[in-house]
């Protein structure tokens, strides 16, 4: 039995060195590609000051409890680039406020958040709204004086109405 003559063949013309180098080379290329993705799509922090957010939690709970006490529950509908919002008249214990603030908060990318000030018009609030991405959005509804707060989730786009009602945590 004779061995193949490898003395005259350079290393780069043999297949074994290339087969041994392929996995580390693929790992390095994948690492650079991952780095490129991370740099291009840096989303930042949802909240920069966690301590301040922690102190504000009780205030949010109190405002949500106030909304429950007032019987506030809002129906939200978003379709064809138009936001329509109205309060459930069966639950409402006060006159609907003339002006409300509605915030759409993206769960992971704070740069896509939007805020609208809506004025009451014939029992409903409406405004043109173009959300940059489809999917799940947090909706926060507040009155002008920030006495109460409703929050919930809506999936965009949708043809149906979504009910946003106060959910007060039990102690």
List per-residue pLDDT tens for the chain, 171 residues long. Answer: 566 655 688 988 999 999 999 999 999 999 999 999 888 886 666 667 777 777 777 778 888 888 888 888 888 887 777 888 888 878 778 888 888 999 989 888 888 888 988 888 888 888 888 777 788 889 899 988 888 898 888 887 766 788 888 876 666
Has residue 49 been placed in a domain? no
Residues 6+ apart with CB under 8 A from 159: 77, 79
For residue 166, give the nearest of 77, 64, 91, 92 by alpha carbon. Answer: 64
- Residues 29 and 108 grouped into a single domain: no
Closest CA to 104 of 67, 129, 68, 74: 129
- The sheet carrying 74-79 orders its strands as 125-128, 82-87, 74-79, 162-164
| β-sheet bridge partners, residue 82 | 79, 128
Same-domain pairing of 102 and 154:
yes
Same domain for 25 and 98, yes or no, is no
Regarding whether 77 and 35 lie in a shared domain, the answer is: no
Residue 110 lies in a domain: yes
Judge if 123 and 77 occupy the same domain.
yes
* 33 and 70 in a common domain: no
Residue 149 sits in a domain whose CATH number is: 2.60.40
Q: How many domains does the chain have?
A: 2
Count the helices and strands in the chain (H runs, E runs). 2, 8
**pTM of the model as a whole:** 0.64
Its domain, for residue 35, covers 13-40
Q: Are 130 and 52 in contact (CB under 8 A)?
A: no
Residue 75 CB partners (closer than 8 Å, separation 6+): 85, 86, 87, 88, 161, 162, 163, 164
């Amino acid at each position: 039995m004779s061995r193949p003559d490898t003395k005259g063949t350079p290393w780069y013309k043999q297949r074994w060195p290339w087969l041994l180098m392929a996995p580390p080379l693929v790992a390095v290329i994948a690492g650079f590609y991952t780095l490129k993705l991370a740099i291009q799509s840096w989303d930042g922090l949802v909240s920069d000051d966690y301590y301040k957010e922690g102190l504000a939690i009780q205030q949010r709970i109190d405002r949500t409890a106030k909304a429950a006490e007032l019987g506030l529950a809002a129906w939200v509908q978003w379709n064809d680039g138009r936001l329509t919002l109205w309060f459930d008249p069966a639950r409402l214990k006060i006159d609907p406020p003339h002006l409300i603030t509605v915030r759409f908060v993206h769960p992971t990318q704070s740069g896509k958040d939007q805020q609208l000030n809506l004025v009451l018009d014939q029992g409903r609030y409406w405004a043109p709204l173009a959300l940059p991405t489809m999917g799940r959005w947090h909706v926060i509804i507040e009155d002008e004086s920030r006495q109460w707060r409703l929050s919930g989730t809506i999936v965009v786009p949708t043809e149906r109405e979504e009910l946003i009602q106060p959910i007060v945590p039990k102690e």
